[in-house]
Amino acid sequence: MAVSKRKTGKKDKSNNMPVEAKAIEQPITQTLESNYMPYAMSVIVSRAIPEIDGFKPSHRKLLYTMYKMGLLTGQRQKSANIVGRTMQLNPHGDAAIYETMVRLSTGNEALIAPFVDSKGNFGKVYSRDMSYAASRYTEAKLAPICNEIFKDIDKDTVDFTDSYDGTQQEPVLLPTAFPNILVSANSGIAVGMASMICGFNLNEVCEAAINYIKDPEYDLFGSMPAPDFSTGGEIIFDRAEMEEIYRTGKGSFKIRSKWRFIKEHNIIEIYEIPYTTTTDIIIDKISDLCKSGKIKEISDMRDETDLNGLKLAIELKRGTDPDKLMQKLFKLTTLQDVFSCNFNILVAGNPKVMGVKEILDEWTAWRTECLRRMIFSDIAKKNEKLHLLEGLEKILLDIDSAIEIIRNTELEDEVVPNLMMGFGIDETQAEFVANIKLRNINRQYILNRTSEIKLLKDEIEHLKEVLNSNRKIRGLIIDDLKRINKKYVIPRRSDIVYSADIEDEPAEPAVEDYPVYIIFTSEGYIKKLSVPAYRNSTEQKLKEGDSISEVFETSNNNEMIFFTDKTQAYKLRISDLEDSRSANLGQFIPAKLDFDEGEKIIAAFIPGDYSSTLLFVYENGKVSKVPMSSYATKSNRKKLINAYSDKSRLVRIIRLDNDCDIVLFTNDGRALLFNSAMLLSKAGRSSEGVYVLTKKKDRILTDAATSEKSGLSDPYLYKVTRIPSSGQALDPDDNIEKQLSFID
């Protein structure tokens, strides 16, 4: 139940304080339905998700305002003026409106086919540092391609609705004459859903749409083989991945930067980057890699972006192979990135994830309806004109009688009724005749006007034929697409590189392998010593109050895994540790591996080939047997969440190379010995395990060890043949003081 309290607004007369209303109990489902759902639907339908015309409401309101300001053909105006006018339709504030304009502009380079022709500093989509100037300093107008966005909008092609304050009308959609939903890259995060639409080349989309309308079985890859981005780059084309995106509207593909090597200066120049990243992200990441020693081939890096475009310069150290370095940077930075597609689009107010063909079907159906409405509007206007001319034609029979009727009519209000009676025409026709200028009441004028009657009838008949023919309407759509494809030629910016032609990424540099000793302390410090350094040391320097918890004899190319009290595991490559000396404290593991605040290590292992097994012993009496291989990862992941169950406090982790006898101890002085083979191995890391200790009120499991390390004089006195078991009371010779504190 949701309980809410609210103030009534009334005041207690005795102390002039607001009177608090009684608490109102309400089911949480009702609270969500009445308070949260309207907000969620508003975000989905009115803000975040684009519609079939390719625009969100904020885009549409801005562009329509500019259209009504005459900026399709007029001179540029100050952006501040445009933003102010747009606020009559968009109540979300000038900053949000201007940011929308920036993204739609030619200067920002966020779109393949920008809709705003900008002048001034509009920033760059590929750089966070290159921010746009204030709206009072920049100017804008609509780009020429907006002619295709607003084509025939005044012919009732789309519905209009009241603005938020009801003072004016705005279009619900814009009658785009091409599939802008596929051309303009778009993204949005709503409530419970999101949308991520990659852009495609305008000419390729038009060509694909033409062929698909003609033949629904057409292979779209023949015209639009892959997406296209305003920032260029190279799309790594995998046919199976791309087919999945085209078919379902979901999937991902890789895109990487373009670069060149300037041999005389020993510099790599990066001049195009993935759409998903920015120059500052790339520079920061490469800087971090250089500082950590993972990249040692770079001597300097500069952002040399200027008016000529993007350029990142990387100075190489002598003898560096640029190809190998770039392969490494592609792997470690966003110079190669992944674009995840989610073609979630609003169709008739409902969000729907669609593949490319389904999007083209929806757009074609919607565009067909736009053209039907336009044709119906044209027919209505031509019928209205025809009706007037047919009345004028009747005047041609006797112009003198018409003049006589008007001359002999005493009252002005009686002119129209008298013409109606005199020539058998209706009020609209009579009004039209009565308003003809005196100079136009001649036979030539009337003959010229009435000669249009046959032409109008032919046009109306033709329009009706088109209106009743899906084939002819689709022919009009194709004609528009052909015209746009010819008029607006936009070269492809993102090159296509086939994944089969790309060389495999080089393996990570070979780590020098040699025997080492790892000293791990109870306070979480660790140090790596070579064999001579360890054997020659007489005493290890430790922090005051610290003690050595474990000494591992291993090799430099192994890993270590640390389990913490927050059900997480952290992995560390031993090669990432610097060689130390006995006189050093070593490195603090929580800081090196970026532990959460207050997180403590409870066990550490060197997994080797991950063939061992781990026993997780819990306070509630359960024991889980998990293969070490469950913690092996292909990527260099440093942190694994949900490393073990959090249903009960973990008491001990025991590593087993083979099944053996395990002893459990309880808080009420009992012990239990069982063989680990009695437990089934669980593949899931967060498995709760099974009860080994019989449940009993106030009895908890306090410790565990292998039989050899249990400290019991005769462990087999406590052996059980089946589990769960309550165990046996400890022998007086095996009192708790004799038990050892250990970490396996």
Q: Mark whether 721 and 674 lie in a shared domain.
A: yes
- Residue-wise pLDDT tens digits, 392-417: 888 776 777 888 888 888 888 888 88
- Asked whether residue 114 is assigned to any structural domain, the reply reads yes
Q: Which residues belong to the active site?
A: 137
Task: Say which CATH number the domain at 294 has.
Answer: 3.30.1360.40
Instruction: Say if residue 436's pLDDT is above 60.
Output: yes
**The pLDDT value given to residue 92:** 84
- Asked whether residue 345 is assigned to any structural domain, the reply reads no
Q: What pTM did the predictor assign?
A: 0.66
Instruction: Say if residue 134's pLDDT is above 90.
Output: yes
**The pLDDT value given to residue 366:** 95
Instruction: Say if residue 658's pLDDT is above 70.
Output: yes
- The alpha carbon of 102 is separated from its chain's Cα centroid by a whole number of angstroms, namely 20
- Residue-wise pLDDT tens digits, 281-301: 999 999 999 888 888 899 999
Q: Mark whether 595 and 625 lie in a shared domain.
A: no
Q: Mark whether 613 and 742 lie in a shared domain.
A: yes
- The alpha carbon of 52 is separated from its chain's Cα centroid by a whole number of angstroms, namely 19
Cα 219 to Cα 463: distance, rounded to the nearest angstrom: 33
Confidence of residue 5 (pLDDT cuts 50, 70, 90): very low
Instruction: Say if residue 500's pLDDT is above 80.
Output: no
> What mean pLDDT is reported for the chain?
87
DSSP string, 542-571: --TT--EEEEEEEETT-EEEEEETTS-EEE
**The pLDDT value given to residue 15:** 57
Instruction: Say if residue 490's pLDDT is above 90.
Output: yes
Instruction: Say if residue 148's pLDDT is above 90.
Output: yes
Across 376-403, average pLDDT: 85
The DSSP output letter for 303 is E
What is the domain range of residue 468? 362-487
Confidence of residue 18 (pLDDT cuts 50, 70, 90): low
Across 468-488, average pLDDT: 94
Distances (CA, A) of 184 to 59, 197, 227, 363, 379: 12, 8, 11, 14, 34
Q: Mark whether 575 and 477 lie in a shared domain.
A: no
**The pLDDT value given to residue 43:** 58
Task: Say which CATH number the domain at 618 has.
Answer: 2.120.10.90
Range from 52-56, 195-199, 735-739 carrying the lowest mean pLDDT? 735-739
Q: Mark whether 54 and 156 lie in a shared domain.
A: yes
Confidence of residue 50 (pLDDT cuts 50, 70, 90): very high
Q: Mark whether 738 and 615 lie in a shared domain.
A: yes
Confidence of residue 4 (pLDDT cuts 50, 70, 90): very low
Total structural domains within the chain: 6
- Asked whether residue 351 is assigned to any structural domain, the reply reads no
3-state secondary structure of 277: coil
Please list, in sequence order, all residues whose beta carbon lies within 8 angstroms of the beta carbon of residue 642, skipping any fewer than 6 positions away: 567, 568, 685, 686
Q: Mark whether 63 and 28 lie in a shared domain.
A: no
- Asked whether residue 666 is assigned to any structural domain, the reply reads yes
Task: Render the burial of 710-744: b for 16+ CB within 10 Å, e for the rest.
Answer: bbbeebeebbbeebbbbbeebeeebeeeebeebeb
**The pLDDT value given to residue 629:** 86
Cα 627 to Cα 55: distance, rounded to the nearest angstrom: 52
Q: Mark whether 65 and 151 lie in a shared domain.
A: yes
184 versus 698: the higher-pLDDT residue is 184
Among 578, 606, 634, identify where a domain stops.
606
Task: Say which CATH number the domain at 371 has.
Answer: 1.10.268.10
Q: Mark whether 554 and 635 lie in a shared domain.
A: no
- Residue-wise pLDDT tens digits, 553-594: 988 888 899 999 999 999 988 888 888 888 888 889 998 888
Q: What are residue 370's phi and psi, to 5 degrees? A: -60, -45
Bridge partners (DSSP) listed for residue 691: 622
Among 587, 606, 625, identify where a domain stops.
606
- Asked whether residue 565 is assigned to any structural domain, the reply reads yes
SS (H, E, C) 65-101: HHHHCCCCCCCCEEHHHHHHHHCCCCCCCHHHHHHHH
Among 117, 149, 176, identify where a domain stops.
176
Q: What are residue 202's phi and psi, to 5 degrees? A: -55, -50
Cα 63 to Cα 75: distance, rounded to the nearest angstrom: 15
- Asked whether residue 354 is assigned to any structural domain, the reply reads no
Q: Which of 644, 676, 672 is nearest to 658 (CA)?
A: 676
Q: Mark whether 574 and 616 lie in a shared domain.
A: no
Across 112-130, average pLDDT: 92
- The alpha carbon of 255 is separated from its chain's Cα centroid by a whole number of angstroms, namely 15
Note whether 206 and 196 are within 8 A (CB): no
Instruction: Say if residue 505's pLDDT is above 70.
Output: no
Q: Mark whether 582 and 628 lie in a shared domain.
A: no
DSSP string, 665-681: EETTSEEEEEEGGGSPB
The C-alpha angle 226, 229, 233, rounded to 5 degrees, equals 90
Beta-sheet strands, E only, within 234-281:
234-237, 250-256, 258-262, 267-272
3-state secondary structure of 127: strand
Note whether 217 and 365 are within 8 A (CB): no
Task: Say which CATH number the domain at 87 has.
Answer: 3.90.199.10
Across 454-478, average pLDDT: 92
- Asked whether residue 412 is assigned to any structural domain, the reply reads yes
**The pLDDT value given to residue 743:** 36
- Asked whether residue 352 is assigned to any structural domain, the reply reads no
Q: Mark whether 592 and 618 lie in a shared domain.
A: no
pLDDT over 90 percentage in the chain:
48
